[in-house]
Structure 1
Amino acid sequence: MIGKTFKTFGQFVLRYGFAITFIWLGLMKLRNSEADYLKQVLSNSSLFSWMLQYITSYAFSQLIAYLQMAIGLLITLKPVARKVSFWGGFAASVILLISVSTIFSSSIVWEANYGFPELSKHGQSILKDVVLLGAALWCTGDSA
């Protein structure tokens, strides 16, 4: 009985806590400081540095901000629109998978003087996305 209660409450907190976190992170991306952060990460990434030739870091940050907020809202709709929530979780999974990949493609995530496994502040910020990716994958599967 108590195990089922904890599981049910944990699932509720995981889904809606993830959605709130995703929306909040989107709101933070509307700030210029986040655009500066993204520019540093993208310009030091072997996979994503090319993007800065076509879009400014500010425009990219704005795009990601609105996308994240919309995705967070979609995830909350599971009780009334299961398929919509599925696509929100799927989109979040894709975004977070891309973010996590920068750990392996950007030199800025490692502390320059120490190397692996010492993460820089940028690396620590990206590392949280590993846990968020797990939450997104769970939300996707739970809404399927």
Structure 2
Amino acid sequence: MNSAIKKIFSVIALVLLRYGLGIALIWLGIMKFKNIEAEYLQDLLANTTIFKWILKYFTAYAFSQMIAWIQIVAGVLLLIHPFAPKVSRWGAVLAMLIFLPGIIVFFSSDVVWLTGYGFPELSRTGQILLKDFILFGVAAGCFSEFK
């Protein structure tokens, strides 16, 4: 492939990955302020042994709001990369911390499988959590500056 074309697509990919992740985090963070997100989170936490303890200390709505603010801050930090690349790396760290629990839940909970079918049939929750693998990878790429 022509090196100029390869360079153009590389730049497009890096821009879309970084800024797409930033926009997605802000968008998802804003959605977390809705009651329906808190209800979904309540069900997910209540049915996941490793994170069930959180509900002893926080209401689902309060926990959802904390996650919302972390997502929004992470997204903004990713978006300021041209002006403050070192500060922007903290957005990538926050993003990895946001997506890591989803990966843990994916491997440690039976709520990811469609009841009565098992592997490879994912439940709606499993389908939602599957994206965390890719988004964690994008965040790791942003942290490493895609080098």
Same-fold status (TM-score > 0.5): yes
1:143 shift after superposition: 7.9
Give aligned-pair identity as a percent: 47
Q: Normalising by structure 1, what TM-score?
A: 0.96
> Which of 87, 90, 94 does residue 91 from structure 1 map onto?
94
Q: Distance in 1 between matches of 2:112 and 2:15?
A: 32
How far residue 43 of structure 1 moved from its aligned partner, in angstroms, is: 0.8
TM-score by length of 2: 0.94
1:124 to 111, 122, 127: 127
- Aligned partner of 1:13 in structure 2 is 16
2:111 pairs with one of 108, 116, 120: 108
1:69 equivalent in alignment to 2:63: no
Q: CA RMSD in A?
A: 1.3
Indicate how the Cα distance of structure 1 residues 71 and 90 shifts in structure 2: closer, same or farther if over 3 A, else same. same
Q: 2:136 aligned with 1:133, yes or no? A: yes
Amino acid at match of 1:15: R
Paired residue type of 1:134: G
AA at the equivalent of 1:47: I
Q: Which residue number corresponds to residue 39 of structure 1?
A: 42
How far off its partner does 1:94 sit? 1.6
Give deviations 1:55-112, integer Å, cap 9, x for gaps: 0111000110111011100011111111111111011112211121111222211111
Is 1:48 paired with 2:51? Answer: yes
8 Å Cα contact 1:78/1:143 also seen in 2? no
The unaligned stretches of length 5 or more in structure 2 are none
Which runs of 4 or more aligned residues in structure 1 lie more than 6 Å from their structure 2 counterparts after TM superposition?
A: none
Q: d(CA) in 1 for partners of 2:121 and 2:146?
A: 36
TM-aligned CA distance change 1:69 to 1:143, over 3 Å: farther
Question: Which stretches in structure 1 are left out of the alignment for 5+ residues?
Answer: none
Tell me how far 1:46 sits from its aligned partner.
1.4
Separation in structure 2 between the aligned mates of residue 25 and residue 99 of structure 1, nearest angstrom = 14
